[in-house]
Chain A
Amino acid sequence: MLLEYAAIGIMILVVSLIGLIAIGLGTIFGPKRQTDRKAAPYESGMTPIGPGIRRVPVRFYLIAVLFILFDIEVVFFLPWAIAFRQLGLFGLAEMLIFIAILLVGYIYAWKKGALEWE
């Protein structure tokens, strides 16, 4: 049984070797001319402003969490919509229960003011 995995093992080995060789050749033979500009952190070509680590309002975090919540809801919608005909009424009821549970969370977040940007 283990032999079946041998191909994957060889593949991993060869891929890592190729990667190491490519990086190794570059490191050994490539010219190294460090300038201030080259050593600076890459910021999409813009001149870097201020330190890389700075405070971000926690509000972003809250919005991100809420986004994930409802994004995942949509992720579940998609396969359900595709299999809608096969699942029939049973699937519809299941989905409605799922939405109802998420709705509880939505109303909670709304009432607690998590959706206000003040």
Chain B
Amino acid sequence: MNQPSSGLVLAACAAVAVLALWSTVNFYSVTGDLAGTNADVYKIGEQAARFQDLMSALPATGIIGYVSDVPASQTLGAVLYSSAQYTLAPRLVAEQRLKPDAEWVIGNFSKPLDVAQFGEKRGLTLVKDFGNGAVLYRNQAR
């Protein structure tokens, strides 16, 4: 097979260099939103402040039960559940159905509701409503 001419090789290299540079400039211009203040679409960074008072009421480690008005099988429920797990770690937060005997149970709610009644239906006594949908219960079964 014939060797490509030097001119062709130079043209290919130049084309790759110019196109790649254009690609990175384009990448920079189209990713402005990902580098902006709205990058945290699930608001995970805000959960630490939301759960701050609740965290101080919990033991530093151990297994904590979890209840919510949104099932974890739904996207919103999964966001609420996983963000609570991440924020409250190294405590292990597990749905109450998985760990029914956990002494402390947190409620993580997406909308205002009667949190005392919500807990009673599940055998939980309201300890404190911290506002912003963050609630602490104690398990009556223990």
**A in complex with B:** no
Interface residues of chain A, those whose CB is within 8 Å of chain B, are: none
